[in-house]
A and B are shown apart, each in its own frame.
Chain A
Amino acid sequence: MIKFLLMVNQQGQTRLSRYFEPVELNRRAAQEAAVVRCCLSRNKEQCSFVEYQDFKLVYRQYAALYVVVGVSHTENELSIFELIQNFVEVLDRYFSRVRLNQIMFHLDSVHIILDEMIQNGHIVETNKNRILAPLTAINKMADG
C-alpha cells in the first residue's frame, strides 16, 4: 500500500504532495518536514529505503529533486523505487525534458498524471502512453 508521495527540493520545501490515506491537513506539514529530514540526512551509499514510524519510505534523488514515497511494510520497496523512475520518465515525456520549475508551475498536470498512475494506494497504470492519453486529450480539447 502506498500511503503518500512527496516531491521536495534539496532545501526540504514541498513541491508536490499527494496522500492516499487521509492525513489531517494540520499534521501534514510536520510529517513532511520529518520525512524529508529523514531522507536528506542520508548519503548515496546508503539504502534508498528508510524506516519511518510505522511505515517505510522509499526515496529517489534526481539532482535537486527528491521523490519520497511512504509505503506499508508489506510493500515491495524495490518495485516502488522503480515506480518513482517510471513516474519521472512519464513527466519527462509530457514536459519534453522535465524541470523542477515545470512541476511547480503545472501542479495540476502532475496531479492528473498521478491520478492515472496511483489510486487508493495501488498502482493502477504504468503504461506511459495510457497514463498520458487522458491529459493529452484534455489539453487538445482546451486548445482547440
Chain B
Amino acid sequence: MSDVVEKTLTALPSLLSLDSQPGSAKLSTNSKLGSLIRGITELTSKHEEEKLIQRELSSIKEQVSSPNTTMRQMKELMVRTIYCEMLGYEATFSYIHAIKLAQQGNVLEKRVGYLAVSLFLNESHELLLLLVNTVLKDLQSTNLIEVCMALTVVSQMFPKDMIPAILPLVEEKLNHSKEIIRRKAVLALYKFYLIAPNQVQHIHNRFRKALCDKDPGVMSASLHIYLQLIQENPESYKDLTASFVTILKQVVAGKLPMDFNYHSVPAPWLQIQLLRILSLLGKSDQSTSEVMYEILDESLRRAEMNHNITYAILYECVKCIYTIHPKSELLEKAAKVIGNFVLSQRINLKYLGLKALTYVVHQDPRLALQHQMTIIECLDHPDVIIKRETLELLFRITNDQNVTVIVEKMLDFMSINKEDHTTADLVGKVAELAEKYAPDNEWFVETMNTVFSVGGDTLQPDIPNSFLKLLSEGFDDEEENKKLRLFAVNSYISLLQGEPSKLPQRFLQAICWVLGEYSHLREDVEPDLVLRLLVKLLNIKSTSSETKSWILMAMTKLCSGGAPLSVPLEVSETYSSSMDTMLRQRAQELQYLSQNPELQARVLPRGVSQEPMEVDSSLSFLDGFVSEALAAGAAPYKPPHQRQEELSRSKALSLEPYGLSLPISMSSCSIADRQSPTLLSVSSGLSGDRTDHSHKGGSTTLKLDGVRRVWGKEGYLAQRESAEETAPVEAPSPLQPLVQQGDGDASYSQTPTPIPECEQEKQQLASSLFVGLASQSSVCLMGKSEQTSQRFRRKLKDPAASFPSSTQNPLVSPPSSVGHLLLDSSISSDLISSPEQTHLSSVDLTVANGEVELPDRDMKGIKSTLLREDSALAAGSSPHEELDRPKDSCLTSHLPAELSGLPHSEITPLCTSPSLDLSSCHVQKDDSLVLLVFMKSSSDYDIQQIQVQVTCEELEVSCVCDSPVEELKSHGVVVCQYFLTVKSPSVYFVLSGMMSHQIPDNSLQETQFSHRIPLTSFLRPLRLSTEEYGTMWLAFSHDTKQNLPLMMDAEEPLTATLKVLKDKLQLHVVEIIGNEGIVACCLRQDQPCLLHCRVHAGMLAVWLRSPIPELPDCLLYHCQRALQES
C-alpha cells in the first residue's frame, strides 16, 4: 500500500473524535446509558466515579429484581451493567438476570443476554450450568438467528461436563444448508476440542468433511482445529499436506469470492493460518516439505504489493521456509525478504525484520553478518522495543568470543530499563551466557555480581542456585576451581567491606554461603575478619531473617577453623531466643558445633566435595516414630490431592455412599521421588538447609530438574542441534580460538564507551560483536560473508583457555533422555515431591501396612475371578468349592455362539433353589463385559416365569432380553445375557441379584444372590503413541503414586515387571526407555488410565493418572496383587 493510500485509510475513521457530534447529542440524551457515560466522562476524580457507579449499580439492582421490568428494559439494564463491569465494578447480582434475559428475551434481547453471560461469567462459573437448557432450546429453534447465537456462545464458553448434552445437536448442524450455521458448528466443536479433547475424539472424520466444505468460511473455521491437532501430533496429518497446499494455491490465485479480500489481498489471515499449518507439517520432514516448495515460492512472488498485510504474509512465509526442510533457492529469497525488512525505513517492518532474523539466525548466522551494521544501528535506536529485539538477536549469536561485548550491551540496557519483567528476563539471559561462555574467572564473578545486584529480588531463584552449584561442584581442574573460589571470596570480602546494606538479599545469601565454604582458601585473612563482616551484616536492619539464617550457617562453618569463640557465642546467644524458629535452630547449631570440634568435623567436613550424598528419600528411619504416633491415635496421612478432594466434597452435602477404603498392604513402599541424590553434595554442608530455604521461595532446588541445564558434557546448545544437522560444519582450526580471542579482547578494550559515535567505532564494535560467526576473519567481516560457512557454535576449547567450556564434570550430566520420556519437562519437575510430602506419605503407607489386611477369602476370590486368556477355565481354587464342579463344564456348551470364541471366566455357582441352579461367568468383549447367567433346572417338572434381576451401583447393567423366561423344561438350561459397563470404578463390583420363578402351585419363589467381578475384567489395553500419551497425561488431574515390588530376578526387571502387568491386567505398554516405562489402559474409550513406571531404588515407582477420580487407586490395587502373585 502506498503511503497515500494509507493516509486515506487512517483518515477514514477520522471522525472518531471525542467532540460531541450533532447526532450523538440526541442519542445520549435519549438513553440512560448515554447519561451514565456522559456523567462519568465529566468526572475528574476516581472517588467521584466510584460513588456514581455504586449509585448506578444499586439503581440497576433495584430495577432488575422488580417483576415489572420488561425484557426490553432488562436489555438496557444489562448494557449498563456491562459498562459498569468494564470499569472494574463487580455486579454479581446481575449474572442470573443475564441468563434470564438469554432465556426469555426476543431476538435482540436474547443476543444481549448471551453477550452479557459471556462477558460476566468465566468458564468455570457454576451459573453457566443454568444456560445449558437455553442453549439446547435455541439449538433446536427454527429461527436460524437463534441457532446462530446459541452456537456463538457455545464456541466461547460452555461447561465441560455438559458437552455430551448438546454434542449431537451441534454435530447435526455440520450438515446444515446454511454456511454460517456450519461454520459456527465447526467453531463450537473447536471449543469442545480445546476444553475436552476426548469428547470429540470420535468425530475427527467430521473435521475432514468440514475442511472439504464448498464454502471457504467453513473450511477456514476447520483450520483452527487442524492447527491445534497438528501442533499436538504432526505425524497423523501428513496426508493432508497436499490438501492444505491446494487450498493455499487457490487462495493465493484469488479464487475466493471478492468479499474475502482485504485491501485487494485475498484472505490474508487465512493465508497466514495455512502457512503456520504447513510449517508445522514440514518441520524436519523432507518429503512433506518438498510438496510445499512451489506454493511457498508462489506466495513470496505474489506478495509484492506494498501493504502491511502483504508484509505480514511474507513474514509468515519466511518463518515457514526456515522451519521446514531447507531448500537453498527459497532460503535465498527469504533472506532477501528479511533484508528488505531490516533495511526498511518503516519502523514496524524493521521490528518484524529483527524478529525474523532472531528466528532464523541459528540456522543462518551469515544473515546476521550481512546486516551487522544495521544491527548495530538498531542497538542504539531511540525506540526501546527495537533495542530490546536486537538484544534478543545478539543473545542468539553469542559465542565465547563476543560474549563480553554482548553481555555489556545487555547490562547497559538493564541500567536504563525500569520494567521488572524485562529485567528479570535479561538477567536470566546474562547469567546463562556468563555460565556458558565466560572467558575468565574474574569476568565471570564480576558479571555474576552485576547480575545479582541488578536482578535484585526479582531474580529467578535458580540463578543463585546454579551459580553456587557451579562453584561447589567445580571442574576437573582442581587448581582452576581453587582460583575461581578464591576470586569469589576476594570479591565478596571487598563487597562486604563496602556498603552491604545496598545489596539484594539473594546476593547476600550467596555471598554468605561462599564465604562460609571457601574463605579458608585465603590464608592471609583471619576467619575472625570474615566473622566480623558477617556480624556487621547481621546487625543491618534491612537484612531479612532468611538471610540471617544463611549468615549463621556460614558462621557455623567458619568456626571449625579454630577461630576465637567469642563472636559466635555472642551471636548464638542473641538469636537462640529469636521468634523465628529457623533462626533459633541455626543459633543452636552454631552454639553446639562451635564448642564441639569433633562433631563439627563430622557434620561439616571440609574439602571432601563431590561425594554424592546418599539420601533415604523414603525416610524409612521415621517409620518407628510414625507407627508410635499412629498408635497414639494420630490421624493417618492423606496425600494433598485426596485432601483437596475431600475438602471440596465436604462443602456440599455428600449424596454418595462412602467409598470403600482401599485395602492396601505393603511392606516396602515409599513415595516416588525424583530428586536425584547427586543434587546434594556433602561439601555444601547445608544441603538440607538449602532445600528448606528454597521451599519458602517456591521449591527452587527441586525446580532444577525441570530447568534446562546449562552445563553438559557436550556443551550447551541443545536447542540448536537441529541447525547443526541441516548445514555442514566446518571444523575450526585449533589455533583459531586463541587468535580470535585476542582480537576480541583487544577490540573490546578499545571501545570502552558503549555508544560508538563514528563509523569506525561502529565497525570495531561490529567486529567484536560478530566475531566467531564466520571462520575467515575476525577483524572485519563486512562483505566477506558469502564465503563463510562456519556455524557460530564451536567445539569445546582447550580446558585451560577458559573455564566454563572446560567443564567435564561427571556430576553434571546432560539432561537425561529418560526425563524426556514424558515429553514435557514440566512433568518431570512435577514428579519431584517435596520432602514434607515424602515424610507424610510414609506415614500413610505404614498405616496401610499395619492395619488394613485383606480377608483371606478375598484373595482366593481374586484368583478365581481373574481372567486368563490362555486358560478359559482356570482350575484354581474357588470360594465355592463345596458345590460340585462337574456341573460347570457341561454349562460351557451353553455359551451363546457369538461369545464362544471370546475369553470367559470360569463358571461359578450363584445360588440354588430347590428347583433351579444358577451359575454365572463373564465374557470379555472388546468394548464391554457380558455377564452370563445360566439357569439350570434341577426339578423334574417345567418351571414357569423365571425372572432374574441384576443390579449394581457402580455398573450400568442392561439386559439383552428384559422379559422373563416363560418356561424352562425339566433339566434344561437357559442363558441370560447382561451387558455391563462401568459407571464409577471400584476394586470389585458386587452385583446383587434376585431370581424369582413360579413353582407348580403358582406361588412365587424368590432367591437372592450376589456375584463379584474384579475391576480387571473391565480393563482393556489402550493403544496410544508416546505423543498422545504425553498430551493425555497433562490433561488428567487425578493421580496416585506408589512403589511396587520389582521382579528383581529377571534379566531386565522393568520389562519383566511390565510384562506381568500387561499379561495379567491387559495393559498396553506404550514405550520403555531406559529405566522408565509408560503404560496405558482404559475401561471404556473415555475412561483411560495412564501409568508411568520408573525403576527407583530396587522398586517400581508407579504414578497413575486418570480423568476418573477413583480409577488410579483401584487399578493400583490390582497392579499390586498381580505383582505379588507372580
Residues of A in contact with B (beta carbons under 8 Å apart): 9-10, 13-14, 16-18, 22, 25-26, 28-29, 45-51, 53-54, 62-65, 76-79, 81-83, 85-86, 88-89, 91-92, 97-105, 107-108, 111-112, 115-116, 119-120, 122-130, 133-134, 137-139, 141-142
A73 → B minimal CB distance (Å): 9
Known contacts A16-B86, A54-B421, A119-B187: A141-B107 contact under CB 8 Å: yes
With A17-B86, A99-B24, A123-B269 given, is the CB distance from A82 to B180 under 8 Å?
Answer: no
A62 to B946, CA, bound (A): 83
Which 10 pairs of residues, A with B, have the shortest CB-CB distance?
Answer: A29-B88, A101-B24, A142-B108, A79-B312, A78-B312, A82-B309, A65-B16, A141-B107, A53-B421, A46-B383
Q: How far is the CB of B684 from chain A (nearest CB, A)?
A: 33
Q: Name A47's contact: one of B180, B187, B386 (CB within 8 Å).
A: B386
CA of A129 to CA of B179, assembled, Å: 13
- Tell yes or no: B1002 within 8 A of A by CB: no
How long is the Cα–Cα vector from A104 to B269 in the complex, in angstroms? 28
Query: Known contacts being A99-B15, A124-B221, is A82 close to B308, with CB within 8 Å?
Result: yes
Instruction: Give A81 to B17 CA distance when docked, in angstroms.
Output: 21
Whether A78 and B311, one on each chain, are in contact in the complex, defined by CB atoms closer than 8 angstroms, is yes
Name 16 A/B residue pairs within 8 A (Cβ), A-sorted. Answer: A17-B86, A22-B123, A26-B90, A47-B350, A48-B347, A50-B385, A53-B421, A63-B14, A77-B351, A79-B313, A82-B268, A82-B312, A99-B16, A101-B18, A105-B31, A111-B115
Question: With A46-B383, A78-B348, A134-B180 given, is the CB distance from A64 to B87 under 8 Å?
Answer: no
Question: Within 8 Å CB of A92, what residues of B?
Answer: 12-13
Of residues 346 to 384 in B, which have CB atoms within 8 Å of A's CB atoms? Answer: 347-352, 355, 382-383
Q: How many chain B residues have a CB neighbour from A under 8 Å?
A: 83
User: Counting CB contacts under 8 A, is B512 at the interface?
Assistant: no
Task: Digitize B184-217: 1 where CB-to-A-CB distance is under 8 Å, 0 elsewhere.
Answer: 0001001100100000000000000000000001
Q: Which of B148-156, B554-562, B706-714, B961-969 has 4 or more CB atoms under 8 Å from chain A? A: B148-156
For B87, list chain A residues within 8 Å (CB): 14, 29
- Tell me whether A101 and B28 are in contact (CB under 8 A): yes
Picked from A48, A89, A137, the residue with its CB within 8 Å of the CB of B348 is A48
Query: CB-nearest residue of chain B relative to A114?
Result: B115
Tell me, rounded to whole Å, the shortest Cβ–Cβ distance linking B14 to chain A: 5
Cβ of B315: which chain A residues have Cβ within 8 Å of it?
Answer: 76, 78
**B259 CB-CB contact with A under 8 Å:** yes
Decide if B18 touches A126 in the complex (CB within 8 Å). no
Q: Using Cβ atoms and an 8 Å threshold, which residues of chain A touch B349?
A: 78
Given A26-B88, A82-B308, A142-B107: A120 touches B17 (CB 8 Å cut-off) = no
Q: A47 to B259, Cβ gap below 8 A? A: no
CB pair B13–A98 under 8 Å, yes or no, is yes
Contacting chain A: which of B77-85, B813-821, B916-924, B970-978?
Answer: B77-85
When distances are taken between beta carbons in the complex, the residues of chain B under 8 Å from A119 are: 155-156, 187, 191
Residue B56 at the chain A interface, CB threshold 8 Å: no
Chain B proximity of A116: nearest CB distance (Å): 8
Binds A, one of B33-41, B330-338, B574-582, B602-610: B33-41
Given A45-B347, A119-B155, 8 further pairs, Cβ under 8 A: A46-B382, A49-B385, A53-B419, A62-B16, A92-B13, A102-B24, A126-B267, A130-B180
- Chain B positions within 8 Å of A10 at CB level: 18
DSSP class of B's interface residues: helix, strand, loop or mixed? helix
CB distance from A132 to the nearest CB of B (A): 11
- Interchain CA distance A83-B352 in the complex, whole Å: 16
Complexed CA–CA distance, A16 and B85 (Å): 11
Q: Does B21 contact A (CB under 8 A)?
A: yes
The answer to whether A134 touches B14 (Cβ under 8 A) is no
Q: Which of A62, A124, A141 has the most CB of B within 10 A?
A: A124
| A78 in contact with B16 (CB, 8 Å) | no
Give a binary string over B253-267; 1 marks a CB under 8 Å from any A CB, 0 the rest.
000000110100001
Q: Which single member of B15, B262, B421 contacts A86 (CB below 8 Å)?
A: B262
Cβ of B145: which chain A residues have Cβ within 8 Å of it? 134, 137-138, 141
Chain B nearest Cβ from A104, distance in angstroms: 5
Q: A85, B9: Cβ atoms under 8 Å?
A: yes
- From known contacts A25-B88, A107-B33, A107-B79, infer whether A62 and B13 are also in contact, taking CB-CB under 8 Å: yes
Is there contact, CB below 8 Å, between B37 and A111?
no
Q: How far is the CA of A81 from the CA of B874 in the complex (A)?
A: 71
CB distance from B32 to the nearest CB of A (A): 11
Question: Is A79 in contact with B269, judged by CB distance below 8 angstroms?
Answer: yes
Contacts of B21 in A (CB 8 A): 99, 101
- Alpha-carbon distance between A48 and B388 when the two chains are bound, in angstroms: 14
Given the known inter-chain contacts A85-B9, A105-B33, A134-B148, please indicate yes or no for A14 contacting B422, CB distance below 8 A: no
Contact present for A122 and B224 (CB under 8 Å): yes
Which residues 418-433 in B have Cβ within 8 Å of A in the complex? Answer: 419, 421-422
Known: A81-B348, A130-B217. A139 touches B148 (CB 8 A): no
| B27 CB-CB contact with A under 8 Å | yes
- Shortest distance between the CB of A41 and any CB in chain B (Å): 11
Q: How many angstroms between the C-alpha atoms of A108 and B110 in the bound complex? A: 12
- Knowing A25-B85, A47-B386, the reply to whether A127 touches B260 (Cβ < 8 A) is yes
Tell me, yes or no, whether B569 is within 8 Å of chain A by CB: no
Q: Tell yes or no: B119 within 8 A of A by CB.
A: yes
Contacts of B311 in A (CB 8 A): 78
CA gap between A132 and B957 in the complex, in Å: 51
**In the complex, what residue of chain A is closest to B21 when comparing beta carbons?**
A99
B111 at the binding interface (Cβ < 8 Å): yes
Q: When the two chains form their complex, are residues A100 and B352 in contact, meaning their CB atoms are under 8 A apart?
A: no
Q: Mark B1084-1126, 1 if CB is under 8 A from A, else 0.
A: 0000000000000000000000000000000000000000000
B1035 at the interface (CB under 8 A from A): no
Give A86 to B308 CA distance when docked, in angstroms. 12
Measured between beta carbons, the chain B residues less than 8 angstroms from A107 are 33, 79, 82-83, 86
A100 to B16, CA, bound (A): 5
Bound together, the chains give a CA A133 to CA B82 distance in angstroms of: 24
B272 sits at the interface (CB 8 A): yes
Residues of chain A within 8 A of B497, CB atoms compared = none
Q: Out of B16, B115, B224, name the residue touching A64 (CB < 8 Å).
A: B16
What 1/0 mask marks residues of chain B from 153 to 197 whose CB sits below 8 Å from any chain A CB?
001100000000000000000000000100000010011001000
CA distance A86 to B9 in the complex (A): 11
B267 x A62 contact (CB < 8 A) = no
Please name all residues of chain A whose beta carbon is closer than 8 Å to the beta carbon of B83 when the two chains form the complex.
107
Residues of B within 8 A of A85 (CB): 9
Binary flags per residue of B264-290, CB closer than 8 Å to A gives 1, else 0: 000111101000000000000000000
- Identify the closest chain A residue to B82 (Cβ): A107
A76 and B351 within 8 A (CB): no
CB distance B269 to A88 under 8 Å? no
- In angstroms, Cα B680 to Cα A112, docked, is 58
Q: CB-nearest residue of chain B relative to A58? A: B348
Task: Out of B90, B123, B224, name the residue touching A25 (CB < 8 Å).
Answer: B90
Q: Inside 8 A of A98's CB, which chain B residues have their CB?
A: 13, 15-16
Q: Which residues of B contact A116 (CB under 8 A)?
A: 152
Chain A nearest CB from B184 CB (Å) reads 9
Cβ of B106 under 8 Å from chain A: yes
Contact between A139 and B108, CB atoms less than 8 A apart: yes
Instruction: Tell me the complex Cα distance, A115–B188, Å.
Output: 13
A82-B312, A101-B24, A141-B107 are contacts. A124–B187 as well, Cβ < 8 Å?
yes
Contacts of A51 in B (CB 8 A): 385, 388, 419, 421-422
Q: How far is the CB of B110 from chain A (nearest CB, A)?
A: 9
**Known contacts A78-B348, A89-B12, A125-B217; is A120 also within 8 Å of B37 by CB?**
no
- Chain A residues closer than 8 Å to B774, beta-carbon distance: none
- Residues in B with CB closer than 8 Å to A53 are 419, 421
A119 to B186, CA, bound (A): 12
A24 (CB) vs chain B CBs: closest residue: B122
- Tell me the nearest residue of chain A to B72, going by C-beta: A142
Given that A14-B87, A16-B86, A125-B217 are known contacts, is A112 also in contact with B351, CB under 8 Å in the complex? Answer: no
* B-chain residues with CB within 8 Å of residue A124 when the two chains form the complex: 187, 221, 224
Contact A79/B86 with A51-B388, A65-B16 known, Cβ cut-off 8 Å:
no
